[in-house]
Amino acid sequence: MGIFNSKKKNQFLAGNGEIQKTLHKNLEFTATEQYKLIRTNLDFTLPEDEKCPVIGITSAMRGGGKSTTAVNLSYVLAEKGSKVLLVDADLRIPSIAKKLEIESTPGLADLLRGKGAALSEFRSHLLDNWYVLPSGDIPPNPSELLGSVRMKSILEQLKEMFDYIIVDLPPVNLVSDAISISKYITGMIVVVREDHTEKKELDRCFRQLRMSNVNIIGCVINDAKTGKGSYGRYRRYRYYKYYKYYQTYQSSTQKGDKK
């Protein structure tokens, strides 16, 4: 498969407006530190023998902060020196290209349709080792494409080229896309937005993921409300390792919850 066969010049960053304040370089110090903490925690939650972990980012419903988390996490991983690929696999309502002010094509959907593109096309100008694969043109059948053998083969090839692949996905409760691709994913992070994600929705999301045997490696609590006192603002972006958060969650929902 000729994914990276062209020698086209990098024309990655196309826009000139201001990138959102919630993203990578514009993050306040405390938020950056929280993303670095997530980066550190990944080392403890991912299998040691995995050469290039593929990390999916999903949530129960729309708007939890998946894409923001995917951008920032991939950025801090690249900042530390790893070669990282951020993939926009939300092929229904893609947002990575818009957030980063780059062209949305060529992208994942084009690769899935068998069209080639140069690796250099996906390199961000911000960091040499940070690559961003946008969605490409929106396809009519995202769930089938994401669960396809072709997707598997693309990921297998990409895994040979990167240290981490971060995959931004649609929400679990609305469409089957995240579940479809989950068989090719090393671990899934579930983003929960305080005051936004309802418990019953989160409950449904975890049930779906568990039923599909998805390896949930953690939860990111995004946009946590600031507490009172001088340390309050340090809580804006928080990350709890899966076993901590999920065991609490499990014990509160065990009753009547089929495994």
Ligand X SMILES: Nc1ncnc2c1ncn2[C@@H]1O[C@H](COP(=O)(O)OP(=O)(O)OP(=O)(O)O)[C@@H](O)[C@H]1O
Residues of this chain that bind ligand X (CB under 6 A): 20, 22, 59, 62-68, 90, 93, 95, 171, 222-223
| Least distance in angstroms from the C-beta of 16 to Mg ion | 23
Compute how many residues bind Mg ion; rule: CB under 5 A.
Answer: 3
* Partner from ligand X, Mg ion, none binding residue 22, C-beta < 5-8 Å depending on class: ligand X
* Partner from ligand X, Mg ion, none binding residue 116, C-beta < 5-8 Å depending on class: none
Residues 52-71 that bind Mg ion (CB under 5 A): 66-67
| Least distance in angstroms from the C-beta of 175 to ligand X | 10
Q: 185-196: string of b/e by CB count within 10 Å (b at 16+)?
A: bbbbbbbbbeeb
Strands 164-168 and 130-133: unpaired
Cβ-based neighbours of 28, under 8 Å, separated by 6 or more: none
Is the Cβ of residue 27 or residue 117 nearer to ligand X in the bound state?
Answer: 27
* Partner from Mg ion, ligand X, none binding residue 65, C-beta < 5-8 Å depending on class: ligand X
Is the Cβ of residue 69 or residue 124 nearer to Mg ion in the bound state?
Answer: 69
| Least distance in angstroms from the C-beta of 56 to Mg ion | 12
Assigned token pair, 63: 């708007």
| Least distance in angstroms from the C-beta of 78 to ligand X | 18
The CA distance from 95 to 91, in Å, is 9
Is the Cβ of residue 180 or residue 222 nearer to ligand X in the bound state?
Answer: 222
Is the Cβ of residue 186 or residue 197 nearer to ligand X in the bound state?
Answer: 197
In the numeric block, the tokens 């690929």 are attached to: 85
The CA distance from 174 to 170, in Å, is 8
DSSP E strand boundaries for the chain: 54-59, 84-88, 130-133, 164-168, 187-193, 216-222, 238-241
Assigned token pair, 4: 């990276």
SS3 10: coil
| Least distance in angstroms from the C-beta of 193 to ligand X | 7
- Yes or no: say if 249 and 255 are a contact pair by the CB < 8 Å rule: no
The CA distance from 36 to 57, in Å, is 16
Is the Cβ of residue 61 or residue 127 nearer to ligand X in the bound state?
Answer: 61
Is the Cβ of residue 78 or residue 172 nearer to ligand X in the bound state?
Answer: 172
Site string for Mg ion, 89-118 (x = CB under 5 A): ------x-----------------------
Is the Cβ of residue 3 or residue 60 nearer to ligand X in the bound state?
Answer: 60
- Yes or no: say if 171 and 141 are a contact pair by the CB < 8 Å rule: no
- Yes or no: say if 50 and 172 are a contact pair by the CB < 8 Å rule: no
DSSP E strand boundaries for 63-125: 84-88
| Least distance in angstroms from the C-beta of 134 to Mg ion | 12
| Least distance in angstroms from the C-beta of 245 to Mg ion | 21
Q: Note the residues at the interface with Mg ion (CB under 5 A).
A: 66-67, 95
